[in-house]
């Protein structure tokens, strides 16, 4: 099975936004990120994020997104990724980079393999540790968690 693409996610996003507009009116997401904001976000974190996550941030921003949040490249956001990573890093295993949380103490993360972050989304919590999810990239994570696909 192939990974969800930006085009497929964009179509799904517009469809779900039209079907259930109230969940998108309650909390708005951050503005799309510039390439500069992404680089500025990656420097303090010490990792370069995969292209799919960068594209998500450049197209959709971060912050509240449907029924979940995605950490953001906007330094004014409550969901600014470097701030969230500093908090998560106290609990996460080395080489894990938080891109979202589950509001219950768990984190959706990208894992560094040989110095590079992979697209695969992992989940970490205190009870079960680090486990791979069914989400091959951030588009599938948001589609599954925010839209229930």
CATH for the 6-147 domain, from 3.40.50.620, 3.10.310.30, 3.40.1580.10, 2.30.30.110: 3.40.1580.10
Q: Place 42 in a pLDDT band, splitting at 50, 70 and 90.
A: very high
- Provide φ and ψ at 120, rounded to 5°: -55, 130
Per-residue pLDDT tens digits for 78-117: 999 999 999 999 999 999 999 999 888 899 999 998 778 9
> What pTM value is reported for the model?
0.90
pLDDT of 103 reads 85
- Provide φ and ψ at 34, rounded to 5°: -90, 165
Q: Which residues pair with 112 in a beta bridge?
A: 117
Domain boundaries, the chain: 6-147
Query: Distance between CA atoms of 5 and 27, rounded to whole angstroms?
Result: 25
- CB 74, CB 33: distance < 8 Å: yes
pLDDT higher than threshold 60 for residue 41: yes
């Amino acid at each position: 099975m192939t990974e969800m693409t930006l085009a497929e996610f964009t179509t799904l996003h517009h469809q779900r936004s039209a079907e259930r507009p109230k969940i998108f009116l309650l909390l708005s997401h951050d503005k799309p990120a510039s390439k500069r904001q992404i680089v500025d976000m990656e420097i303090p974190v010490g990792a370069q994020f995969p292209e799919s996550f960068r594209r998500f941030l450049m197209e959709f921003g971060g912050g509240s997104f449907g029924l979940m949040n995605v950490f953001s490249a906007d330094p004014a956001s409550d969901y600014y990724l470097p701030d969230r990573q500093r908090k998560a890093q106290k609990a996460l295993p080395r080489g894990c980079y938080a891109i979202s949380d589950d509001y219950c103490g768990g984190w959706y993360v990208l894992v560094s393999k040989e110095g590079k972050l992979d697209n695969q989304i992992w989940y970490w919590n205190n009870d079960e540790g680090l486990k791979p999810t069914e989400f091959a990239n951030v588009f599938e994570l948001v589609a599954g968690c925010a839209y229930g696909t």
